[in-house]
Amino acid sequence: MHIPKEVVDVLAGLPVVGKPEQAFPLLTVDASGFPHACLLSRAELDTDVDELLIAITSRRTRENLRRDGRATLLAVEKVTAHSLKLIVVRLVEVDGRLGAALAVDQHLADSMALALDPIRYNPSADLVREEGWAQSARCLEMLRATKLASVDDAGPPV
């Protein structure tokens, strides 16, 4: 299953310091079976139509992804709340982050006739440093490289 264009568009680009940004809840399941939420910025996400790439610093979220291999990402686009049910396909460790490439297992779209307001935050230069967005960018780049390497290693199509 592919990631819908509307979601790819919402996740595209990078946050701009001083400009309000959507925060994207990533839900995993903890060892006791309870939902665990982690808020991600576009600096910690990348996507194409095939995969969602994430760079995670949260210890609990990293543990949950390694143990369970599933997550749900929520994204708001105009009048629609998108829920992507995801399955881990690749993991990398870079700069103290867990990079995960996730494939979509299911996409749900919940629409209203009213504009929806997502969770928002206002990025600052201090936040960029504290959150280590440069390290997240390296982690996402490594994930992109591992996808290319796995395609190259597969040999020519049959």
Give the pTM.
Answer: 0.91
b/e burial code for range 63-74 (CB count within 10 A of at least 16 → b): ebbeeeebbbbb
Name the 3-class secondary structure at 64: helix
Domain membership flag for residue 157:
no
Tokens of 90: 């690749």
What pLDDT sits at residue 151?
Answer: 47
Domain membership flag for residue 156:
no
What pLDDT sits at residue 112?
Answer: 83
pLDDT score of 12 more than 50: yes
- What is the tally of structural domains in the chain? 1
Residue with tokens 């935050």: 121
What pLDDT sits at residue 150?
Answer: 61
Residues 6+ apart with CB under 8 A from 44: 54, 55, 56, 131, 133, 136, 140
What pLDDT sits at residue 153?
Answer: 54
> Tens digits of per-residue pLDDT, 106-152?
999 999 889 999 999 999 999 999 999 999 999 999 999 988 766 45
Hey, what amino acid is at 29?
Answer: V
> Tens digits of per-residue pLDDT, 91-107?
999 989 999 999 999 99
User: Minimal CA–CA distance to 15: which of 119, 124, 116, 115?
Assistant: 124
Domain membership flag for residue 158:
no
What pLDDT sits at residue 104?
Answer: 97
CATH number at residue 117: 2.30.110.10
Domain membership flag for residue 25:
yes
What pLDDT sits at residue 147?
Answer: 83
User: Minimal CA–CA distance to 71: which of 58, 87, 60, 82?
Assistant: 87
Domain that holds residue 13: 5-150
Domain membership flag for residue 123:
yes
Domain membership flag for residue 50:
yes
Residues 112 and 157: their CA atoms lie apart, in Å, by: 43
Work out the pLDDT band at 156, boundaries 50, 70, 90: very low
Average pLDDT over all residues of the chain = 93
> Tens digits of per-residue pLDDT, 109-120?
999 889 999 999
